[in-house]
Amino acid sequence: MANAGHIDLVRDRLAHWNDWRRKNTKVVPDLAGADLSELNLSGANLARADLSGARLSGTNLSGANLTRAKFFRADLSQADLTKANLFKANLSQADLAGANFNGADLTGAFLVRANLSGAGFIGACLKGASLGQASLFRAKLAKAVLSQASFFKSDLSEADLSGADLEGANLQEAVLERTNLRGANLANANLCFATLLKADLTGAVLDNAAVHGTSLWDVNTADSRQRDLDIMPAQEPVLSVDSLQTAQLVGMLLHHEKARYEVFSITLNTVLVIGRFPPERKPVLQAVKDAFRRHDYSPLVLDFHLPGSGDKNEIVKTLGRMSRFVVADLTGDRRISDTLDAVVHFLPTIPIQPIGQADGGGQGLPDSHWRKYRWVLPLWRFRDPEDLAARIGREVVTPAEEKAAEIRQKMSFGV
């Protein structure tokens, strides 16, 4: 139960309250359940105060110090919290409908299952905040800092997140129906099993986002950047693609066997790249991907360096069949060569180009082993990422395209 003396003091002149707080730094104000509706508490020092279940509807808390304050199940609907300091404040299950948090600092705040419908967070900082299962219907979060924030199972329908920083945010199972994400930064965000229905991603950045199970329907991705999207579950090998649409299609092919064979007849503009790419070899992988992008191909990358329990042979076989050609970097890992050997006879219509770094260690089976397969091109060796970038067009892309044309011609004659 609230402390009656604390309630009387905060309702009195604000200057007296703040002076009392300065002189009694160890006292934790107890305002739980208090009715403070419509009061002017602008600039009030309510740090660490317990306002659980309090009624603060329409209250002016602009510029207030609310650091680590407790607003559990409090009513802050239509309250003014512009530029307030809510660092690690607990607003879980609070009613914040229509509240104004523009320019406020909510770093690390807890807003789990809170009602934030129509609330304004324009330019606010919610870095690392927890908003799991919160309702953010039509919330205004334009240009807000939401990096590392959690929106697990939250409803962001019709919310405005244009220009927002969502880097590394957790949007798993979130609802993003008609959500405005124009120009938003979603790099490294978790969008697994999120629903994007008629969402606007124009000009958004989604590099390295996790998109396994993401549902896309009538999404606008014009001028967006979508590189290295991870389409596999957390415990599976990392498989990256360069567009949300490709991610949804590949996911369907991998996890729905019947659909797989219906779509195999479609030639996609993709190149499957397999290899082992630890941090020191990332420049090689980047050079490979950039080269294929310059030639209007979309690279699918299966990295053997990353842990995973999935059947890589089956993954390579499935994705190889839907690719224009396969590039296998055999550098320093016999597993790549073994995988290629296990699946090569399943891919007789797909050109396969083995490559290897000249000083990168053992490359598995000898060159002579691959000569019996007409669709496998000779092993191409490169010195370093710069050498690869300079020569991959004529040494890999062109021969692979020529081999693909040769295979198509032979198939047309029944050879």
pLDDT digits (tens, 9 = 90+) for 42-65: 999 999 999 999 999 999 999 999
* For residue 265, pLDDT beyond 70: no
Query: For residue 393, how far is the Cα from the chain centroid?
Result: 31
**So what's the pLDDT on residue 387?**
94
Q: What is the mean pLDDT of residues 134-143?
A: 98
Strand bridging mode 239-241 / 270-275:
unpaired
> Helices 385-392 and 282-294 sit at what angle, rounded to 10 degrees?
20
* For residue 312, pLDDT beyond 70: yes
pLDDT digits (tens, 9 = 90+) for 372-388: 899 999 999 999 999 99
**So what's the pLDDT on residue 166?**
99
Distance, in Å, from the CA atom of 40 to the CA atom of 34, rounded to the nearest integer, reads 15
pLDDT digits (tens, 9 = 90+) for 58-89: 999 999 999 999 999 999 999 999 999 999 99
**So what's the pLDDT on residue 334?**
85
State the DSSP H helix or E strand holding residue 326, giving kind and residue range, or none if neither. Answer: strand 325-329
Bridge partners, 35 (sequence order): 55
Distance, in Å, from the CA atom of 276 to the CA atom of 20, rounded to the nearest integer, reads 63
Angle at 271 between CA 267 and CA 274, to 5 degrees: 135
* Residue of higher predicted confidence among 244 and 157: 157
**Fold type of domain 260-413:** Rossmann fold (3.40.50)
SS3 state at 190: strand
- CB-based contacts of 188, cutoff 8 Å, min separation 6: 167, 168, 207, 208, 209
Averaged pLDDT of the chain: 91
pLDDT digits (tens, 9 = 90+) for 196-250: 999 999 999 999 999 999 999 999 999 999 999 999 887 777 789 999 988 887 8
pLDDT digits (tens, 9 = 90+) for 270-289: 899 999 999 999 999 999 99
Percent of the chain past pLDDT 70, that is, above it, reads 93
Distance, in Å, from the CA atom of 236 to the CA atom of 306, rounded to the nearest integer, reads 9
- In angstroms and rounded to an integer, the radius of gyration of the C-alpha atoms of the chain is 28
Q: What is the mean pLDDT of residues 359-367?
A: 65
Half-sphere exposure of residue 45, counting CA atoms within 13 Å on the CB side? 14
Contact at 8 Å (CB) between 109 and 90? yes
Bridge partners, 160 (sequence order): 140, 180
pLDDT digits (tens, 9 = 90+) for 3-18: 999 999 999 889 999 9
pTM metric for this prediction: 0.76
**So what's the pLDDT on residue 264?**
53
Domain ranges of the chain: 260-413
Helices and strands of the chain, counted as H and E runs: 10, 9
Distance, in Å, from the CA atom of 181 to the CA atom of 160, rounded to the nearest integer, reads 7
Contact at 8 Å (CB) between 339 and 312? yes
Instruction: Give the pLDDT band (50/70/90) at residue 263.
Output: low
Distance, in Å, from the CA atom of 127 to the CA atom of 106, rounded to the nearest integer, reads 7
State the DSSP H helix or E strand holding residue 403, giving kind and residue range, or none if neither. Answer: helix 398-412
The position carrying tokens 């317990």 is 50
Other C-beta atoms closer than 10 Å to the C-beta of 22 total 9
